[in-house]
């Protein structure tokens, strides 16, 4: 069978290929420490599981759920935005998603025509650009550089692209670099996109994975006209990657277009899972601080191990990732192989996030600190 040209223009999802390799290694009896994918190893809180189970008692739990999500969950998200960000939202400004990845894909046809441009970060979560290619939308890669703290430099964007650009994707706290954005940056980018008539979204998957007791930021706090949208997910903060539940909030016209796409291609998420998400939002700030504590501790230990092994890294405060420099005599893929062979460490080559990541690799701190420590003890000093 021949695939369409748009599908041919993208490669297989890196983590899908990696899954096959990991299975093979495990079958061959190799002990691996998987620091590749951002899939938390921490427990799901008991109250979340309890609500999931109780969700089976809800009338019509097995029926097609509402396309836009159940009202109780939308109200939970509205409450979260009011309490944490002091941002007021109405029901038509919230849409429940089957994971934020779903919305990151569906916003493309909701906003862009074939042949339009979307600006995507490089390095960046690969889904922003690959889904554009699948929908026939051109991407303009804005390179995130360490000397600008991995924030995009807006003055670099080609003027001709701006005229044809409909969508701008940003992601702070950032995957893969761990960089965070401050209020000045959000104000600047919101104004820039408003001036150029571009819809901007912040993918806030890691909004709560920051320093302990620090207040997270939402792009909506800096967008008084509410022209942008923000994606959120229960995957990372609540260790619910497999539940597949997320949301998008903000501009009601963008949200209604997204719902038009979504309702034509799929349905709402299973109702008990939506109740599980409601329970997650009810967890106290102590819960959030406890997960921040775990990742902070892992980050601290891993930074020390990297330092001892002579591997440079970006000293970030956001997410549970560390963005590291590949030692000079290796390319990123060869170095990832080296770590696998020497210490059973599975990490992600930087080029999986775009060509601007070719000299880096990413560590996801999603294993216990002792496992990380023991694996590092098996590798050389570079």
Ligand X SMILES: Cc1ncc(COP(=O)(O)O)c(C=O)c1O
Residues that bind ligand X (CB under 6 A): 38, 99-101, 125, 171, 175, 203, 205, 233, 235, 241, 246
Q: In the bound complex, what is the minimum distance in angstroms from residue 235's beta carbon to ligand X?
A: 3
Q: In the bound complex, what is the minimum distance in angstroms from residue 254's beta carbon to ligand X?
A: 17
Q: In the bound complex, what is the minimum distance in angstroms from residue 165's beta carbon to ligand X?
A: 21
Burial class (CB in 10 A: 0-12, 13-18, 19+), 208: buried
Q: In the bound complex, what is the minimum distance in angstroms from residue 174's beta carbon to ligand X?
A: 8
Which residues have C-beta within 8 Å of that of residue 285, sequence separation ≥ 6?
none
Q: How many Cα atoms are found within 13 Å in the side-chain-facing hemisphere of 124?
A: 26
Phi-psi region of 73 (alpha: psi -120 to 50; beta: other; left: phi over 0): alpha
Q: Which DSSP helix (H) or strand (E) runs through 346?
A: strand 345-346
150 close to 321: Cβ distance less than 8 angstroms: no
Q: Which is nearer to ligand X, 69 or 343 (CB)?
A: 69
Q: Which is nearer to ligand X, 100 or 251 (CB)?
A: 100
Q: Which is nearer to ligand X, 99 or 350 (CB)?
A: 99
**DSSP letter assigned to residue 218:** -
Q: Which is nearer to ligand X, 45 or 203 (CB)?
A: 203
Q: In the bound complex, what is the minimum distance in angstroms from residue 105's beta carbon to ligand X?
A: 10
DSSP readout, 63-103? SPPPTT--HHHHHHHHHHIIIII-----GGGEEEESSHHHH
What is the arrangement of strands in the sheet containing 348-349, beginning at the earlier edge strand? 321-325, 360-364, 348-349
Of 108, 121, 114, the closest CA to residue 153 belongs to 121
- The span from the CA of 206 to the CA of 212, in Å, is 14
Q: Which residues, in sequence order, are bridge partners of residue 247?
A: 96, 232
Q: In the bound complex, what is the minimum distance in angstroms from residue 323's beta carbon to ligand X?
A: 13
Q: In the bound complex, what is the minimum distance in angstroms from residue 183's beta carbon to ligand X?
A: 21
Q: Which is nearer to ligand X, 106 or 171 (CB)?
A: 171
**DSSP letter assigned to residue 146:** G
Q: Which is nearer to ligand X, 51 or 175 (CB)?
A: 175
Q: In the bound complex, what is the minimum distance in angstroms from residue 158's beta carbon to ligand X?
A: 25
Of 255, 292, 211, 290, the closest CA to residue 77 belongs to 255
Q: Which is nearer to ligand X, 97 or 162 (CB)?
A: 97
Q: Which is nearer to ligand X, 73 or 305 (CB)?
A: 73
């Amino acid at each position: 069978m021949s695939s369409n040209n748009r599908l041919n223009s993208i490669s297989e999802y890196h983590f899908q290929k990696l899954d096959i390799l990991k299975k093979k290694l495990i079958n061959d009896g190799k002990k691996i420490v998987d620091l590749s994918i951002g899939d938390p190893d921490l427990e799901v809180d008991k109250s979340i599981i309890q609500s999931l189970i109780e969700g089976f008692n809800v009338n019509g739990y097995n029926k097609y759920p509402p396309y836009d999500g159940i009202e109780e969950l939308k109200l939970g998200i509205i409450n979260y935005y009011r309490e944490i960000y002091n941002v007021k939202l109405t029901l038509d400004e919230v849409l429940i998603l089957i994971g934020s990845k779903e919305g990151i894909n569906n916003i493309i046809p909701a906003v862009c025509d074939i042949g339009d441009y979307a600006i995507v970060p490089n390095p960046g979560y690969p889904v922003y650009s690959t889904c554009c290619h699948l929908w026939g939308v051109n991407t303009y890669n804005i390179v995130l550089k360490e000397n600008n703290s991995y924030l995009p430099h807006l003055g670099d964007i080609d003027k001709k692209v701006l005229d044809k650009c409909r969508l701008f994707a940003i992601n702070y706290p950032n995957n893969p670099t761990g960089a965070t954005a401050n209020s000045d940056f959000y104000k600047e980018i919101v104004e820039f996109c408003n001036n150029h008539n571009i819809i901007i979204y912040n993918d806030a998957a890691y909004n709560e994975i920051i320093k302990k007791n620090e207040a997270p930021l939402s792009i909506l706090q800096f967008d008084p006209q509410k022209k942008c949208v923000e994606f959120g997910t229960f995957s990372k903060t609540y260790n619910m990657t497999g539940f597949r539940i997320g949301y998008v909030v903000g501009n009601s016209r963008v949200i209604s277009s997204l719902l038009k796409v979504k309702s034509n291609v799929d349905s709402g998420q299973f109702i008990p899972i939506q109740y599980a998400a409601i329970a997650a939002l009810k967890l106290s700030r102590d819960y959030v601080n406890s997960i921040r504590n775990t990742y902070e501790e892992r980050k601290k230990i891993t930074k020390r191990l990297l330092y001892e092994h002579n591997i440079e890294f970006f000293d970030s405060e956001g997410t549970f990732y560390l963005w590291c420099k590949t030692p000079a005599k290796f390319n990123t893929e060869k170095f990832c192989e080296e770590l696998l062979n020497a210490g059973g460490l599975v990490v992600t080559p930087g080029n999986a996030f775009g060509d601007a990541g070719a000299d880096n690799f990413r560590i996801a701190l999603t294993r216990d600190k002792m496992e990380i420590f023991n694996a590092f003890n098996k590798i050389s000093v570079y």
